[in-house]
A = this chain, B = another copy of it.
Amino acid sequence: MNVATIQDVAKAAGVSAMTVSNVINDHPNVRKATREKVLQAMARLDYRVNVAARNLRKGRTGTIGLAVPEVNSPYYGRLAAAIIAAAERHGLRVSIEQTGALRENELEALSMSRNRLYDGLILSTVGMGQADAEWLKVDYPVVILGERIFGGPVDHVAMPNIDASQAATRHLIERGCRRVAILCGAVEEVDVSTLRHTGYRLALESAGLSVDPDLVQCLDTLTMHAGARRAREMAHSGLDFDGVFCVTDTVAMGVLRGLADASVRVPEQVKVIGFDNVDESEFLVPSLSTIDPDHDTMAERAVGLLAGRIDRAEPRGDRQEFVSRFSVVVRESTGG
């Protein structure tokens, strides 16, 4: 036999479909006795609402999309977890799209939502750049999570990249480092690497230290692997450095490993600080000093912003921007 519909329940309870619907949706105008009858019939037939039908009728899906490079990374995993939890609080489900940090896939995620598969989209832009801002002019709610696309027309939840990086670098300097390297990605677009590199420079400059180009180490990918490899190369090349600011904890984990391979002692010879305060960082040996950007608040704000747009269909004008707070977490890798 087929699954029970609202009609079946109505028949079984001796009422109209509308009354059943009213019971389901907790509408006020239903007599207690009627409600009971209906509830019993529902239980008896093991009735379940057909979400597809409801979606069609309502023009909503109750699901938001989350596009991130990959969930399998300490950082995006943490973020995804927080977003799923926040979405649940708002009565929304989350469907995840993995973009692999590729521009193409990020744009694809934007157009997927145009199928009205999702009520809205939270997009972590990594591959997209300045030039793609036009793509963000879509007619459904989008929140960008991560780096700013300057002048983009959509809501934005960001980290205090420059300030926090400056603080991280300053921390190294305060701990006595004079030759501080930075490990980042390509410094071109407005992105994590560029912004955090800016913070790094500011810190050096305000400490009266010069910025040695040799100490700016750009990686192709921000992975543990790349970090480890580069750290080994730096150590073996004889480059003079006594501190490393890694633009992500993931890179920093690699760096710690690479320095260990090269028998460089942390923090005695070189101090290391990361960015993200990933769960693992506390348990590394040595434990990793880092920047905590308050993931949970960011997630809550991103979902809140999106949910607001969805519910109230807010006008486009008042584009919102939220920048999280941060704190420096001092651990063993900087002698803490």
Contact = CB atoms under 8 A, between A and B. Distances in A.
Given A52-B61, A77-B77, A80-B96, 9 more contacts: A48-B115, A50-B56, A50-B116, A56-B56, A71-B71, A72-B82, A81-B98, A96-B96, A284-B285
Interface stretch (A207-215, A233-241, A250-258, A319-327): A250-258
A244 interface: no
Contacts of A253: 280, 283
8 contacts: A51-B61, A51-B117, A71-B77, A80-B96, A84-B96, A84-B97, A93-B95, A224-B282
B63 A283 contact: no
A20 to B, nearest CB: 16
A173 to B, nearest CB: 25
A48 to B, nearest CB: 5
User: Is the contact region of chain A dominated by helix, strand, or loop, or is it mixed?
Assistant: helix
A51 B116 contact: yes
A94 interface: yes
Contact residue range for chain A? 35 or more
A31 B117 CA distance: 30
Given A84-B96, A257-B284, A285-B285, A72 B63 contact: no
A114 interface: yes
Contact of A116 (B52, B77, B78, B257): B52
Contacts of A71: 71, 77, 80-81, 84
A228 interface: yes
Contact of A72 (B48, B78, B117): B78
Nearest to A227: B283
Contacts of A84: 71, 96-98
Contacts of A3: 116
